[in-house]
Amino acid sequence: MQKIFLKRATGLHERELIKETNTKFYKLVIYKNIEPIYGGLYATALLSSHNTEIKTKNGLCLDAANELFNITLKQLNTTN
């Protein structure tokens, strides 16, 4: 499995990368958390080009993470 390194205020964190796409200014990713958060194991995150987290939705099942990923990607493509 491919790994991604996320930059947060608390330091650098490594997670399992599930899906990734690059837009003009941002990266949109789905990654797997170490342990379930709010009952779900996956997260969808909007990252800067340097992998700094801008916005993250945690505690998702994989289907919900994919749905949120697709909705966000559509919104990013219409604004770029």
pLDDT of res. 25: 87
- pLDDT tens-digit series, residues 68-80: 999 999 998 886 5
User: Which pTM does this prediction carry?
Assistant: 0.89
User: Residues 6 or more apart from 69 whose CB is under 8 A from it?
Assistant: 19, 28, 30, 44
Structural domains of the chain, count: 1
Model confidence at 26, pLDDT cuts 50, 70, 90, reads very high
Q: Average of pLDDT values for 16-38?
A: 92
The mean pLDDT of 34-54, rounded to a whole number, is 91
